[in-house]
Amino acid sequence: MPRHARYIPHGVIPAVLLPFNDDLSIDEKSFRAHLRDVAGTKGISAITINAHSTEVGSLSFDEQRRVLAVAQDEIGERLPLVNGIWADGSIEAARIARMAAEGGASALLVFPPGPFTLGQSPAMALAHFKRIADATDLPLIVFQYPLATGQGYPCDTLLKMVDEVASIRAIKDWAGNVAQHEMHIRTLQNLPRPVNVLSTHSAWLLSSLVLGCNGLLSGSGSVIADLQAQLFHAVKANDLAEARRLNDRIYPLARVFYADPWADMHNRMKEALVLLGRLPRAVVRPPLVKLSAAEIERIRAALVEAGLMRAKARDAA
């Protein structure tokens, strides 16, 4: 049983990065320091690992298990851990789910299977989630992709999943569409068994949160968990002036982190942490590649604009 057995996904849940050594092996020392740094943020409810932000697509099963073990050892007594389930096949997804449960995870973030880019049916989506739910009773977070990707779940499918899989307790909403996002919030959070909507619309977070999300789950929380937590709680308190002030600080970073191509978003976050002195290096695994000096300079400028670096430190660098 996980240490935080009663955790229902809600609130501010940063998704941490995974540092690598120059030989592309996991840099456990830096990872532990990063975990401690993010976990020390006031106002967060959990930490996510083995997700986009940890470059999970490049990790073997054993590496994912090790990432969970390190996180559990470092911060598991303090915060619940949400473990990502990244697999194209349902059998492998269930194997990862069992591993995560045995390793002490408190909830699972279920990515949509890659084959769904070619089309899906409600029966396929149900089969995937039921197999995972049969492997563990941990609460599940449905990662809702934009419908245009083929991996997003239409509303009828999503409601059927929620109805038939009792362990679905939240969605990480990346619908990318304001009307659909608002529909998710109004519908799912008002069901007889409510399903929390966790925004991952980090490029327009304030706009998303004011619609009434019960949380957010974001990779940029690896850099600005404090600002995200403050923004979330300001919105909950209906303090629009404070929320807008915080959003003005977040905006320059959202602009650079979520520029095209989006595949580099966490690459950019690693570079930001290097600039802030929180990581020793920004190494990513192929097919990602090192960012250009010009792009790193744009990240530096955004950190200054956000008030996270002083201009004189930028100039000296």
Which of 171, 83, 99, 161 lies closest to 136 in space, CA to CA?
99
Residue 54 has pLDDT above 90, yes or no: yes
Residue pLDDT, tens place only, 228-249: 999 999 999 999 999 999 999 9
> ∠ at Cα 86 (179, 195), nearest 5°?
40
pTM over the 0.75 mark: yes
Give the CA-trace dihedral at 49, 148, 201, 66, to 10 degrees: 0
Residue 314 has pLDDT above 70, yes or no: no
Backbone angles phi, psi at 165, to 5 degrees: -120, 100
Residue 315 has pLDDT above 80, yes or no: no
CATH code for the structural domain at 11-237: 3.20.20.70
Residue pLDDT, tens place only, 135-148: 999 999 999 999 99
What mean pLDDT do residues 171-186 have?
Answer: 97
Taking the domains of the chain in order of start, what are their residue ranges? 11-237
Q: Output 150-158 pairs: Cβ under 8 A, ≥24 positions apart.
A: 150/116, 150/117, 150/118, 150/119, 150/120, 151/112, 151/113, 151/114, 151/116, 151/117, 151/120, 152/112, 153/112, 153/120, 153/125, 155/180, 155/183, 155/187, 156/122, 157/120, 157/122, 157/125, 158/184, 158/188
